[in-house]
Amino acid sequence: MVNTDPADPAEGSGRRLLQRRFTARLLPQLRLLVEECAAREGLGEPRRGEFVLAVDEIAGNAVEHAGGSGRLVLRRIGDELECRISDTGPGFSEAVIPELLPGLDGAPKGRGLWLARLVADRFSVASGPAGTGMPGAEVTLAVRLR
Amino acid sequence: MSYGNDEVRWDVVTAFVRLGLARGEKVLVLPCPEVPEEEVLARIDFPSRSTLRARRRGQLVVSCMREVIHPDAEFTAARQMGRLHAETDRATAEGYAGLRAFIDMGWVRALGAGVEAMMHRETGAEALFAGRPYTEICAYDRRRFDPAVLTAMERAHPRALLERLGSLRWEREPDGALRFIGEADGAQQDAFTRALQLALAHTAPARRLTVDLTGLHFLSVGCAVGLLVLARGAVGHDVVEVRCDGGQRRMLRRLGGDELPRLAWEEVVRPW
């Protein structure tokens, strides 16, 4: 089942809504929990669906390319809903995300992250969990609630 | 929906209840009468925050059909629908966005009601929903109902739900359309693609295929791109029509769907 991490007060500001480790098998449940939190915070459709989609694409990317698991932290920061997804894989930089939508005849990679960045009001990729010096990647995406 | 396993039955009720609470609706749960209320609450509370506050303020009510029709003892379709109609009015008067009810059909045996009376109610409940903020799931334990009853009830309901999160099902409609139901996520991408390939092969003589996505709760980028790639390559088809909601339409447009002349769109407004 989904594990709950111990609290980590050094991880940032805002009100923490959800903190979960996940694997591929747990992604459907993770989507439900994120959707529930987003609805509770007042994020309406169609933005709520786009936010859940973006979170799923990033979490799925962590599962596929970073050892099969990852960690999600969802926070309310001011008027934003912020999601951080970290993993302990080889890491990647935002430069691997295509600037323009890849054509349908090209390689089938990169479209999920491309769309996640497109729908986010704030998006960044960092190397590993902030301040820990661990390998991996930490993707942050945020949407405005108003 | 129907279930045949005591573990998986909770997936849908938990999702239904929690999303309803998050959306500001009043939620009424009528579980199988043989399941202790403590277990119901423990299942609904897991794996996220407790619903204790929602229960205390009356937003979440766990009850039973006997209580719904009280003070009458005998079930009639009109009596039950009248009470649910009044509950919906009361929920909106209390400031909630609407009422959603999860009803385990185990009440039929518990109240000694006839299956015919239950089927009459299930096939004539449109007045509960028409233009009103009411949503309902009826859950059937497949171990307790005759398969013919289950088939009739699945046909009578506007939507059939899958019993597990992350499931994908597809079916061919009478008009030949390929209809997807459930969640087309990354884990289901191969199955989603195979279903499309088969449907394209079967509809080659007609040179036309309709793909209905409106039964999906989730459509991943991978599956959406898979649909576009297959439509692009379907040179033997004149038209691939995609029936979808506004959110799906926007995603498919962003992924390049408007550049494929073979694709036609039918945008459907979801009833909820």
The reply to whether CATH 3.20.20.140 applies to domain B168-267 is no
- Average pLDDT over chain B, rounded to whole? 89
Q: Do A64 and B186 touch (CB under 8 A)?
A: yes
Task: Look at A27-36, A48-57, B104-113, B181-190 and tell me which has the smallest mean pLDDT.
Answer: B104-113
pLDDT at A118 over 60: yes
pLDDT given for residue B158 in this prediction: 67
pLDDT given for residue A8 in this prediction: 46
pLDDT given for residue A10 in this prediction: 42
Q: Are B156 and B123 in contact (CB under 8 A)?
A: yes
Scanning the structure block, which residue is given the tokens 């935002």?
A: A94
The pLDDT tens digits of the residues spanning B10-54 come to: 888 888 999 999 999 999 999 998 899 889 999 888 766 788 899
Q: Do B47 and A112 touch (CB under 8 A)?
A: no
DSSP notation for chain B: -EES-TTTHHHHHHHHHHHHHHTT-EEEEE--TTS-HHHHHHHHHTTSS--HHHHHTTSEEE--HHHHHTT--S--HHHHHHHHHHHHHHHHHTT-S-EEEEEETTHHHHTT--HHHHHHHHHS-HHHHTTSSEEEEEEEETTTS-HHHHHHHHHHSS----SSTT-EEEEE-TTS-EEEEEEE-GGGHHHHHHHHHHHHHHTTTTTEEEEEEEEEEEE-HHHHHHHHHHHHH-TT-SEEEEEE-HHHHHHHHHTTGGG-TTEEEEE-----
Distance of CA B109 to the CA centre of its chain: 24
pLDDT given for residue B145 in this prediction: 87
pLDDT at A6 over 70: no
Confidence of residue B56 (pLDDT cuts 50, 70, 90): very high
Q: How far is A88 from chain B (nearest CA, A)?
A: 21
B chain contacts of residue A29, beta-carbon cutoff 8 Å: 47, 165
Q: What is the mean pLDDT of residues B214-221?
A: 94
A chain contacts of residue B183, beta-carbon cutoff 8 Å: 28, 31
B18 touches chain A (CB under 8 A): yes
Q: Do A40 and B22 touch (CB under 8 A)?
A: yes
Q: Which of A1, A108, A112 sits opposite B47 (nearest CB)?
A: A1
Q: Does this complex have an ipTM over 0.85?
A: yes
pLDDT given for residue B256 in this prediction: 93
Domain ranges of chain A: 16-99+109-129
B249 touches chain A (CB under 8 A): no
Q: Do B255 and A18 touch (CB under 8 A)?
A: no
Tokens found for residue B251: 């995603």
The reply to whether CATH 3.30.565.10 applies to domain A16-99+109-129 is yes
Q: Which residues pair with B216 in a beta bridge?
A: B182
pLDDT given for residue A7 in this prediction: 41
CA-based nearest residue in chain A for residue B20: A36
- How far apart CA A26 and CA B221 sit, in angstroms, is 18
Q: What is the pTM of this model?
A: 0.83
Confidence of residue B176 (pLDDT cuts 50, 70, 90): confident
Q: Do B165 and A35 touch (CB under 8 A)?
A: no
Return the top range by mean pLDDT from A117-131, B49-63, B149-163: B49-63
pLDDT given for residue B60 in this prediction: 95
Residues of A with CB under 8 A from a CB of B: 1-2, 4, 18, 24, 27-29, 31-33, 35-37, 39-40, 45-46, 49-50, 52-53, 56-57, 60, 64, 101, 103-105, 108, 111-112, 115, 118
Question: Is it true that the peptide bond before B271 is cis, omega within 30 degrees of 0?
Answer: no
The reply to whether CATH 3.40.50.10320 applies to domain B2-156 is no
CATH 3.40.50.300 domain locations along chain B: 2-156
pLDDT given for residue B109 in this prediction: 81
Contacts of B187 (CB under 8 A, 6+ apart): A24, A27, B166
Q: Are B257 and B228 in contact (CB under 8 A)?
A: yes
Contacts of A20 (CB under 8 A, 6+ apart): A2, A3, A4, A5, A26, A30, A33, A71, A72
pLDDT given for residue A3 in this prediction: 40
B chain contacts of residue A27, beta-carbon cutoff 8 Å: 166, 185-187
User: Within chain A, where are the H helices?
Assistant: 27-40, 47-65, 111-119
The pLDDT tens digits of the residues spanning A51-73 come to: 999 999 999 999 998 889 999 99
B23 touches chain A (CB under 8 A): yes
Burial class (CB in 10 A: 0-12, 13-18, 19+), A1: exposed
pLDDT at B87 over 60: yes
Q: What is the mean pLDDT of residues B83-110?
A: 91
What letter represents residue A15's amino acid? R
Scanning the structure block, which residue is given the tokens 């209580």?
A: B67
Q: What is the mean pLDDT of residues B184-196?
A: 97
- Average pLDDT over chain A, rounded to whole? 86
CA distances from A28 to A35, A83, B238 (A): 11, 17, 36
CA distances from A114 to A102, B10, B78, B229, B247 (A): 9, 35, 53, 17, 17
Question: In 10 A of CB B90, how many CB atoms?
Answer: 12
Confidence of residue B271 (pLDDT cuts 50, 70, 90): low
Q: What is the mean pLDDT of residues A9-36?
A: 86
pLDDT given for residue B207 in this prediction: 96
Confidence of residue B74 (pLDDT cuts 50, 70, 90): confident
